[in-house]
Amino acid sequence: MFLAERSYRQHVTLVDGCDLGNQGGILLGFSEWLALRGDLRSVGPHWSHLVLQVASQELGRTIDPHAGEEDERLAIDALFDLLREFLTEASTGRDRVRIISRYALREREMSRNFPPGLTASDVSLLVNCMNETLEALEDWEFSTRVGADKAQVKAMMDRLRWMAQGDA
């Protein structure tokens, strides 16, 4: 392979060109795979930025290809290592669909506005606890012990149920 300059940007351009020449088939699912691999919040940035984020996580330090030769080499190596791993794991169309579906499901879960680490089943458990509290405490003691009246708690339970069901 001949590149006029051995830079991360040139290698990214080469990979993008190969992908374009194959109607986008080479990199289909690559951004999603990177986001899953690095537990990144979004595939919004170009995949080349995601490569740097994942590689930085794995090395435990930021990789900036503009910072010097060593980081440039690390970025290029990471690009081809991650690309090779992706192409091995996603060698068929079915593999790509599985990756994109996994990513979409994760995004759906994350978009429910749960605090980080809180899942739909956690929210369901919380709703069940709130319901038990509603039934266990007498009206006269409820707001003193809970800090809200029963109507407020019931309204919160409805909002939480809605979030947990994914009807948002």
Three-state DSSP string of 29-65: CHHHHHHHHCCCCCCCCCHHHHHHHHHHHHHCCCCCC
The tokens for 142 are: 């409820």
Round to the nearest angstrom and report the end-to-end CA distance of the chain: 49
> Could you read off the pLDDT tens digit of each residue along the chain, which spans 168 residues?
555 568 999 999 999 999 999 998 899 999 999 999 998 876 677 899 999 999 999 999 999 988 899 999 999 999 999 999 999 999 999 999 999 999 988 887 766 666 666 777 788 888 888 989 999 999 888 888 888 888 888 888 887 877 666 544
Q: How many separate helices (H) and strands (E) can be counted in the chain? A: 8, 0
Three-state DSSP class for 72?
helix
